[in-house]
Amino acid sequence: MNSTPSVLNRILITVLGLKLLAVGILLMLLASVPAVAGWWHSWSAGVWNTVNGAFNATRFPGRSESWLWILVALALLVLIALMVAWIAQQGKGRSNLLAAEYDPGSVPGDVRIGGGVAEQALKHALAGRPDLAGATVVTYDVKGSPALKVRLQPRQGVAPHLLAAEVAGLVEALEAVVGRKIPVLIHIGAGARTRFSRAERVR
């Protein structure tokens, strides 16, 4: 429901994982295969000589510093800016407003209901249930309209459709209090917490 770039995140994680895997395999080969160690020494020496020659050939006139360091610094600044922009995209789309309406009564003004009202109300209604290992409620802004995402972690043996029906009933009661329809996404998942938490019989 949010605008987190999940596809980009998966691509970056895959690339990073492949790089770490390649580095790990290389380290294992360097430690166990003499031929690979010899190749590495010769290859790294050639690369170092090439890089060192490039820096020596690009020195400022009359100075020992190379202007390539300026390019390296600019590249690092661009990388930092991209990382900050990527971090800023994570989790976007959340909203603190559930409903807003103009009231032309004796004292005209806007009536606003915060998303925390719905979140706390549903969390309180779901707290302490023996059939749930966890529950989270978050308000999102979807194309300019507020919506709720209810994430549930049922214990083993709980019927998902019955749990979804009960949550839908809670949402309908919330809509009656708020006075308007609220789009809701009910996500029922399972994880380590549901598998290893203390088992309880659900009646």
Mean pLDDT by runs of 10 across the 203 residues of the chain is 67 91 92 89 88 86 84 93 81 70 75 80 83 83 80 84 86 83 82 47 33
The DSSP code for 62 is: T
pLDDT of residue 69: 87
Rounded-to-integer distance, Cα 82 and Cα 78, Å:
6
Strand partners, 112: 100
How far apart CA 72 and CA 76 sit, in angstroms, is 6
**pLDDT for residue 14:** 92
Q: How far apart are CA 56 and CA 175, in angstroms?
A: 72
Residue 75 has a pLDDT of: 94
Q: What is the pLDDT of residue 124?
A: 85
Q: Enter the DSSP assignment of 106.
A: S
pTM over the 0.75 mark: no
What is the predicted pLDDT for the residue at 17? 93
Looking at domain 97-196, its CATH architecture is: 2-Layer Sandwich (3.30)
The three-state secondary structure class of 69 is helix
| Nearest-angstrom CA–CA distance, 96 and 90 | 17
In this prediction, residue 19 carries a pLDDT of 94
E strands present in 65-159: 97-103, 109-114, 132-142, 145-154
What are the residue ranges spanned by the domains of the chain?
6-88, 97-196
Q: What is the spatial distance between Cα 160 and Cα 189, in angstroms, rounded to a whole number?
A: 9
Rg of the chain (C-alpha set): 28
